[in-house]
């Protein structure tokens, strides 16, 4: 495993170096100069405006003061209940879950299973990447001779390597990966200049290598190396959702979360205009049909806004909902369940952190989170997962499985929109530093750990 700093998505940067952990609030820089800008390949006015940095001394800004004010009493605690303590109904299966080693890949951050027609239905193959921008093909370890019981084996060498053009400090790196409707591999990474870049790659016919040239289809300039967000996924209609954080700084000092002219602090939604071309270099990202009109000067790609660092998203197809997990400032972690008809939702940052007031004026249109919990007691940053739709752990069906970066424990919760859950289950499993989840074609779940690789949740 390479030395150096690993992932940090909390306000107080969690740094792992040479096996040691240090926690320090390094997220305080405010640089003068231009604000963020989004490349606008479709020519529809997606470019962001410049937001001047504050002229107050840093420690006197409302954002800095609020970020260093002790959390008030009475905020909702996670309060997880061990599954061993949850009563089991008569005839219900015993609740037991373990972690099986799946891929040995330190620095892993992203993973996607291949579901393109023509691949073997039970192949379980796909793509896995690390934060430095390297991508491997993986396949089931059917022979069982690779690694101590590993479920899958990766290609001997990366099939794509962007490490020479990928920044990997704090929240940077290869942070998002998904498959497009035509089987292309889409990734979101920060390039060596610190900009977030969406890139499309073309797998070969047998899906084991990449062919042709890759194409960068979107660039979003970042103000620093924190709160870059970066997940991406396609819905059943082929529309692309991409999340970006507020660009960093304690308390969002540039107010990107409520600035409708910038893609930072927002979830964007695009339609992919291929122009009937198979070459991604010819493709354009255009505002998706039905995107909300948020007013003069607003970015037409914005689908929802008011986010701090929506690092992970997932789509639950049976309910048609988008689950956005937003890493909090110093008090609250939040998960918001958005119907795909909720375009224009304002998640509230930085007027609110979760459901609590933070700075500035109150909002009339604040979309409160459906699930939130406070920091402390080993918790610091929500790592969003998926609603379980598999069969091996059917007692989890319909529950949202997630983790926390600092504690490492894995949880499940039943979330009903508009009502804080009564109970969170602790599944009794953990990894050292979880940074994401993946779902295979059968609905089974995998946790991606930046220190140890990928683990499969099993009974």
pTM of the complete model: 0.88
Sheet holding 445-449, edge to edge: 98-103, 453-458, 445-449, 434-439
Instruction: Return per-residue pLDDT of the chain as tens, 459 residues.
Output: 233 333 444 333 333 332 332 223 333 222 322 333 344 333 343 333 334 444 667 778 899 999 999 999 999 999 999 998 888 876 666 888 999 999 999 999 999 999 764 444 445 799 999 999 999 999 988 765 555 678 999 999 999 999 999 999 989 999 999 999 889 999 999 999 999 999 999 999 999 999 888 999 999 999 999 999 789 999 999 999 999 999 999 999 999 999 999 999 999 999 999 999 989 999 999 999 999 999 999 999 999 999 999 999 999 999 999 999 999 999 999 999 999 999 999 999 999 999 999 999 999 999 999 999 998 888 999 999 999 999 999 999 999 999 999 999 999 999 987 778 889 999 999 999 999 999 999 999 999 999 999 999 998
User: What was the pLDDT predicted at 334?
Assistant: 97
pLDDT value of position 347: 98
5 falls within a domain: no
For the residues of 246-306, what is the DSSP string, one character each?
A: ---STT-TT-GGG-TTSSTTEEEEEEEE-TT-S-GGG-EEEEPTT-----TT--TTEEEE-
Residue 2 located in a structural domain: no
How many distinct structural domains can be found in the chain? 1
Inside any domain, residue 423: yes
d(CA 4, CA 17): 5
Mind listing the pLDDT tens digit for each residue in 97-113?
999 999 999 999 999 99
CATH no. for residue 190? Answer: 2.120.10.30
In a domain, 4, yes or no: no
What are the residues whose beta carbons fall under 8 Å from the beta carbon of 230, sequence distance 6 or more?
A: 171, 175, 176, 188, 189, 190, 196, 242, 243, 244, 245, 311
The DSSP 8-state label assigned to residue 351 in this structure reads: T
Per-residue pLDDT at 55: 63
Q: Residue 318: inside a domain, yes or no?
A: yes
Residue span of the structural domain in which 301 resides: 13-27+36-458
- Residue 443: DSSP 8-state: S
| Placement of tokens 């059968």 in the chain | 442
Backbone torsions φ then ψ of 256, nearest 5 degrees: -65, -30
* Cβ contacts of 208 within 8 Å, gap of 6 or more: 137, 155, 159
Rounded to an integer, what distance in angstroms lies between the CA atom of residue 290 and that of residue 274? Answer: 19
Any domain includes 8: no
Q: What was the pLDDT predicted at 402?
A: 98
Query: Domain for residue 370, yes or no?
Result: yes
* Model pLDDT, residue 116: 64
Burial of 246-268, coded b for 16+ CB within 10 Å and e otherwise, reads bbbbbbbbbbbbbbbbbbbbbbb
Domain membership of residue 285 (yes or no) is: yes
Ordered DSSP codes for 387-422: E---STTGGGTTPEEEEETTT-EEEEE--BTTB--S
Widest distance between CA atoms in the chain:
65
pLDDT tens-digit map of 166-178: 999 989 999 999 9
- Integer distance in angstroms from the first to the last C-alpha of the chain? 29
């Amino acid at each position: 495993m390479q030395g150096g700093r690993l992932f940090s998505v909390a306000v107080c940067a969690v740094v792992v170096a040479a096996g040691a952990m240090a926690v320090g609030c390094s997220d305080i820089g405010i640089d003068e100069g231009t604000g963020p800008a989004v490349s606008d390949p479709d020519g529809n006015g997606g470019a962001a405006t410049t937001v001047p940095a504050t002229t107050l001394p840093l420690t006197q800004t409302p954002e800095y003061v609020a970020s260093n004010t002790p959390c008030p009493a009475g905020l909702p605690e996670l309060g997880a209940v061990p599954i061993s303590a949850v009563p089991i109904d008569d005839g219900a299966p015993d609740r037991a879950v373990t972690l099986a080693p799946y891929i040995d890949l330190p620095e892993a951050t992203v993973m996607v299973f291949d579901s393109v027609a023509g691949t073997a239905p039970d192949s379980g193959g796909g793509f896995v990447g690390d934060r430095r921008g390297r991508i491997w093909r993986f396949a089931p370890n059917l022979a069982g001779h690779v690694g101590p019981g590993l479920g899958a084996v990766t290609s001997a060498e990366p099939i794509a390597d962007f490490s020479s053009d990928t920044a990997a400090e704090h929240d940077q790196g290869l942070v998002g990966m998904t498959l497009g409707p035509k089987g292309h591999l889409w990734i979101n990474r920060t390039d060596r200049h610190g900009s977030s870049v969406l890139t499309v790659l073309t797998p070969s016919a047998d899906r084991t290598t990449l062919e042709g040239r890759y194409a960068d289809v979107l660039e979003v300039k970042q103000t620093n190396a924190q709160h870059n967000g970066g997940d991406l996924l396609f819905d059943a209609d082929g529309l692309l959702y991409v999340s970006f954080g507020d660009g960093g700084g304690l308390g969002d000092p540039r107010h990107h979360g409520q600035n409708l002219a910038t893609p930072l602090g927002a979830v964007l939604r695009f339609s992919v205009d291929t122009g009937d071309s198979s070459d991604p270099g010819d493709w354009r990202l255009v505002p998706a049909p039905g995107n909300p009109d948020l007013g003069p000067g607003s970015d037409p790609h914005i689908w929802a806004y008011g986010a701090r660092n929506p690092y992970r998203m997932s789509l639950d197809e049976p309910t048609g909902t988008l689950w956005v997990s937003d890493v909090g400032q110093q008090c609250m972690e939040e998960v918001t369940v958005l119907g795909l008809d909720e375009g224009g939702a304002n998640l509230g940052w930085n007027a609110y952190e979760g459901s609590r007031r933070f700075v500035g004026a109150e909002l009339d249109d604040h979309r409160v989170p459906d699930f939130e919990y406070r920091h402390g007691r080993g918790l610091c940053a929500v790592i969003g997962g998926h609603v379980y739709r598999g069969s091996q752990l059917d007692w989890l069906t319909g529950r949202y499985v997630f983790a926390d970066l600092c504690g490492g424990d894995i949880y499940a919760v039943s979330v009903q929109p508009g009502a804080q859950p009564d109970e969170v289950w602790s599944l009794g499993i953990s990894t050292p530093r979880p940074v994401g989840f993946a779902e295979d074609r059968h609905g089974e779940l995998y946790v991606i750990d930046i220190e140890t690789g990928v683990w499969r949740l099993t009974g």
